[in-house]
Structure 1
């Protein structure tokens, strides 16, 4: 019965596809469907996006060569309302029958139901109507193509088209373009009436977009106008605008060359009914007035408080609530300096970055006290945000650790805490979740919990005992972050308490560059329930238990002969390591490795680190899909404590290590490199690639890296063919419950494309793995011993869907294990490459 139902469903789907495959179904009689635009430029066929984008008519879109949206449109009834009414017009008795078990009103409303009306509207909106050949639009395309080439310097371009009928209702259009030879820039001269402008222009003439010997391009002339305007307005010429720059072009020499005369006339302005002209002036700032509590309602009110600080005038309608230096440090417009647009922009950015004001407004007016009319008063209007603001969040999450999690937080932001534009944020967070993978003897549904409190204090400057202006000038918008936090976890791993503290400096060395220097970042991790280790890390327990049965260990076991936790597991381990029980060398190494991992994951950690991070991006806005992003970080932990311990000649413990608060601190050096590159192929086709390398090397006081600072592989933002923590290390096959190591390589490529409206598709390939290197792990399968181990890079491939909600993207990915280094030779490529062994990933926004 099941097979018959499947066949019927298949035949129905095939029937729908066949019925919709008539691409000419909605083409009116006497009209033709445009199937192709063929473009020939100088006797060579081209598919250049720059040229095809000039055409007003393009064939219907395709998905994998199939006119999906056109055929969806063809499935819809053109007039579903009329079709519904026609059912009863032609058969009135049918209407009477339906009205007996449905009221007449319900029958009429049935025509507006999804099946009769909504479905067809959906198909129309999702689909795409047939593109009908329109010769008027084709003529407009010809004109637009000629204009495009004309702006590229091909003044003699010729273009024509030919309509080629393929059938009664199908046609293609062939565009033939002959560009001729392009025109070149010959001589460039200037006619600048105001002498001071001429002098300024000459100082940056080498940056001009218009140069002798260069191909003529209209875009260069537009860019030159903007360049000149920016240069002049950054050097005091307040009244200048790009439209004051004009060009006189001479192409009458018949040698395919253009003589250019750049013209800038004097400043013109309206004086009553008369237009007057005068030379441009260079303006200086005579006063900088800062209004610290401006609003539309108090605009005309009398100021109750004012002060002057470092030639800045500050005004307030109530008592001034800010230390003057905190505000003036953010203002780059200074008394006596030339007017400059870049100072206005920098001031706006800095003030906005303080996060205590709404977006600022900066205006200029001519100072009437100056009889030469060459002075400006800068007016900075600041609208304070509320001193206190409360925020709450609630999230439902899913991960490989939690089947379901409910997380919430509440935070209170206090602005201008010490009257120096500081911001204090106090927050509390909590999470409860359910996980079937963790030890849960009481079978509680919500067996995972975490709560924590945090405090963050931000200073809008470098908080340091000595002046740092020469090292990090205020134009780099520096800030200082001080934070402390406390969290408590239950039934995640071993139950942990986590105490953190940090002092960090942030600044922007250049536009789109960010830097961060953590003077110190301290973390104390205390395991509250270490005896639960073997309940949580079941794979380690199973491996140890099997060895105990192999060697007939009968002490501290249950009635089934399984090791009791902790008596049996610790007892068997101790007897093997002290050689009270004789085992093979391989089994001894296994037990030793299990014990070392248990010790590392159950011991408390104290980490005191210093780090420097730098990132750079060329991304201009959210819609930019041609950019690169680079991030690097170097971190050193424990070195300062070791220097102090050595200098103070402090004693070492039995393990030969130093301690702080009776706890061995971690010592390591760690570095990371992350590079992302995007290519935009237009029509919403984007190729994105990512490469990542990270390594953490223990030394001195440590033989391994703390779990919280190690690397893992797999997951929705990593190698999507493996779940988180389920890939590696090396070729071990993820034998532990949570697999991590201290070196990682990750490479990813993803091609994204549009399917239907906001629904996007992607195909991807993820490669990578983790390894142990230069630590106390001796398993050859897990360690990286040389370049030959790169053959253990795992490869996952797959496809996914994305739904773009504008403010974020919902993502679904399906990954397949294409190359699995954990498998034996001969079974690594495309083994278990099927849906049964695939991994489904859900994520928010793109993976990189």
Structure 2
């Protein structure tokens, strides 16, 4: 150990404070040999390689290697920069028979026991690899493995030798019109994942069954399942080719091969899991039975989020869209749709929409302690009130009262006090509120209209007082998961400085940049924002997040005043928002 320590000391002598860290590293490295706890006669499963050989050019070689890699289990101990850090931690702490406690946590959670070569079942892995290759059309493949052990560390090489793959000669979908489902399946063939001329691929067939299941579920086949379809493969056609036949199973339930239409629709707006007796009161809105009444929420607002219609074919897309939109309204904690066969027509379904009301009102008080980089510190109190159904249309009213006290605890202005009181309110409508009719958007996300107003009073004792007024009117909607629009046609902000002391005026006089930041101006503009992101697609290796914002202020007002013949603005006589009342007779900001 002394030699190892001298080595670290030699190369860290320039960094005096780092000597202790070098000593710790020396102790750690000397105590944690990777093979320290490997039993005699065994070896550490250190690494493995996968080799793919073929006389043909493989266009899917990377996918083949990835598939074979996934069959290797267990994996070697995780490494960082080639060093099995978790294994070293396990060796340093040592094993323990206890199932809990600090030592167990350090050894088996922070650390990792050694993965031994004896745990690697190469025979089983080779069999799984061969099956994986056959699923990709490489029949009659050969997989072998070799293991080399050196210094109690083993490395295994898996080698796959591949013949030319079997290719698809023909794809035949169900023939005949004895059932409507057969015709509907044939019409979906042009978008099939299985193409003539491509390699045989079992995963593609499974994906194709799932695709057909999804599409048919949107065309009325409520009881349909992908398990009702089967692929039959004829490999006797020769020349390493196959014909693929898609068929409906002979024992497939008849209900799964029939289309169903929506009949009666019932909306239960006060459903509880303990309900056993159906309510008697029913209100009919259009073709929907609204139960029990509109005392909690008006039916017309719920109908905007219901995409089921009487007489339409059952659609799983409309089913999930309805649930997503109802939950997105915010006034319900539970939403579900159950379908029951109609008592008169066996090919029709009654849809029962069950909604459980969320807590309508809530009050929350939050205490905070804040420290800032300018040496200000102090307590804060935030009181928040929420009403999730303000006008019986799932409108969310949020009112926040914020109070703070801060004092400067260091620097030249130690002891300087600051008081802040703020009151803001925001009303959110789960729909577009506009002077013209807006068509309902078919999206999983509820469009929203927000109206916000706020006022903040700041008293920086010995310096100034500030009044901050703000108001906005905005729209938010997401036509798809990756795209979000935020349009704020009205954005008003007004900052007014008052009771400025001579001391603060002196500071402003000596700092031009600070003086400009405290100038009183009236902001009246619009904000347009577009957000694109694919971060929810976790399977992508690269994710994108882009926010594009266009912020406009004063352009419309300035254009109107120019058209009305107002004098051109000057630095001494800038244009103001209005002459009367006096509180808006202030210069307005203009920028893009």
- Per-residue Cα deviation, 1:595-643 (whole angstroms, up to 9, x for no partner): 4x34422211211111222222223367976432222122221122123
Q: 1:32 pairs with 19, 27, 43, which one? A: 43
Q: Note if 1:255 corresponds to 2:239.
A: yes
Structure 2 counterpart of 1:17: 28
More RCO (CA 8 Å, sep 6+): 2
Q: 2:556 pairs with 606, 626, 640, which one? A: 640
Q: CA deviation at 1:261?
A: 0.2
Question: Do the aligned residues in 2 keep the contact of 1:652 with 1:659 (CA within 8 Å)?
Answer: no
Q: Note if 1:524 corresponds to 2:524.
A: no
CA distance in 2, matches of 1:377, 1:7: 75
Residues 391/145 of structure 1: CA separation in 2 closer, same or farther (3 Å cut): farther
Q: Note if 1:668 corresponds to 2:585.
A: no
Q: 2:335 pairs with 337, 356, 360, which one? A: 360
- Per-residue Cα deviation, 1:569-620 (whole angstroms, up to 9, x for no partner): 85xx8xxxxxxxxxxxxxxxxxxxx54x344222112111112222222233
Residues 379/611 of structure 1: CA separation in 2 closer, same or farther (3 Å cut): same
- Per-residue Cα deviation, 1:536-573 (whole angstroms, up to 9, x for no partner): xxxxxxxxxxxxxxxxxxxxxxxxxxxxx63x985xx8
Q: Note if 1:62 corresponds to 2:62.
A: no
Q: CA deviation at 1:143?
A: 2.2
**1:148 match: secondary structure:** helix
Q: Within 5 A, what are the aligned runs for 1:71-110?
A: 71-78=88-95
Question: Do the aligned residues in 2 keep the contact of 1:480 with 1:503 (CA within 8 Å)?
Answer: yes
Q: Within 5 A, what are the aligned runs for 1:254-293?
A: 254-265=238-249, 268-269=252-253, 277=254, 280-293=257-270
Q: 1:148 pairs with 132, 136, 139, which one? A: 132
Residues 212/431 of structure 1: CA separation in 2 closer, same or farther (3 Å cut): farther
Question: Do the aligned residues in 2 keep the contact of 1:20 with 1:72 (CA within 8 Å)?
Answer: no
Structure 2 counterpart of 1:722: none
Q: Note if 1:657 corresponds to 2:571.
A: no
Structure 2 counterpart of 1:699: none
Q: CA deviation at 1:172?
A: 1.8
Q: Within 5 A, what are the aligned runs for 1:395-544?
A: 395-396=368-369, 400-401=373-374, 404=377, 406-433=379-406, 435=408, 440=413, 443-444=415-416, 447-469=417-439, 477-491=446-460, 496-528=466-498, 531=501
Residues 159/526 of structure 1: CA separation in 2 closer, same or farther (3 Å cut): same
CA distance in 1, matches of 2:373, 2:471: 29
* Structure 1 range deviating more: 605-614 or 193-202: 193-202
Q: Note if 1:315 corresponds to 2:287.
A: no
Q: CA deviation at 1:134?
A: 2.0
Residues 489/267 of structure 1: CA separation in 2 closer, same or farther (3 Å cut): farther
Q: 2:109 pairs with 125, 131, 138, which one? A: 125
CA distance in 2, matches of 1:667, 1:608: 9
Q: CA deviation at 1:397?
A: 5.2
TM-score (normalizing by structure 1)? 0.61
Question: Do the aligned residues in 2 keep the contact of 1:57 with 1:138 (CA within 8 Å)?
Answer: no
Q: Note if 1:246 corresponds to 2:246.
A: no
CA distance in 1, matches of 2:162, 2:500: 78
Question: Do the aligned residues in 1 keep the contact of 2:525 with 2:553 (CA within 8 Å)?
Answer: yes
Structure 2 counterpart of 1:739: none
**2:431 match: secondary structure:** coil
- Per-residue Cα deviation, 1:744-793 (whole angstroms, up to 9, x for no partner): xxxxxxxxxxxxxxxxxxxxxxxxxxxxxxxxxxxxxxxxxxxxxxxxxx
- Per-residue Cα deviation, 1:790-829 (whole angstroms, up to 9, x for no partner): xxxxxxxxxxxxxxxxxxxxxxxxxxxxxxxxxxxxxxxx
CA distance in 2, matches of 1:484, 1:300: 45
Structure 2 counterpart of 1:329: 304
Question: Do the aligned residues in 2 keep the contact of 1:306 with 1:320 (CA within 8 Å)?
Answer: no
- Per-residue Cα deviation, 1:216-247 (whole angstroms, up to 9, x for no partner): 22221121111111111111111111111210
Question: Do the aligned residues in 2 keep the contact of 1:289 with 1:314 (CA within 8 Å)?
Answer: yes
**1:663 match: secondary structure:** coil
- Per-residue Cα deviation, 1:7-30 (whole angstroms, up to 9, x for no partner): 984675255234324222101111
Question: Do the aligned residues in 2 keep the contact of 1:292 with 1:382 (CA within 8 Å)?
Answer: yes
Residues 22/319 of structure 1: CA separation in 2 closer, same or farther (3 Å cut): closer
**2:117 match: secondary structure:** coil
Residues 13/300 of structure 1: CA separation in 2 closer, same or farther (3 Å cut): same
**2:453 match: secondary structure:** strand
**2:182 match: secondary structure:** helix
Structure 1 counterpart of 2:6: none
- Per-residue Cα deviation, 1:666-689 (whole angstroms, up to 9, x for no partner): 1111xxxxxxxxxxxxxxxxxxxx
**1:260 match: secondary structure:** strand
Structure 2 counterpart of 1:387: 360
Structure 1 unaligned segments of length 5 or more: list them: 82-111, 270-276, 536-564, 574-593, 670-848
- Per-residue Cα deviation, 1:717-761 (whole angstroms, up to 9, x for no partner): xxxxxxxxxxxxxxxxxxxxxxxxxxxxxxxxxxxxxxxxxxxxx
Q: CA deviation at 1:496?
A: 3.1
CA distance in 2, matches of 1:530, 1:50: 72
CA distance in 1, matches of 2:539, 2:455: 38
Structure 2 counterpart of 1:190: 173
Structure 2 counterpart of 1:804: none
Question: Do the aligned residues in 1 keep the contact of 2:74 with 2:119 (CA within 8 Å)?
Answer: no
CA distance in 2, matches of 1:386, 1:14: 56
CA distance in 2, matches of 1:293, 1:418: 17
Residues 653/15 of structure 1: CA separation in 2 closer, same or farther (3 Å cut): closer
CA distance in 1, matches of 2:126, 2:423: 66
* Structure 1 range deviating more: 478-487 or 278-287: 278-287
Q: 1:175 pairs with 158, 165, 169, which one? A: 158
Question: Do the aligned residues in 1 keep the contact of 2:365 with 2:384 (CA within 8 Å)?
Answer: yes
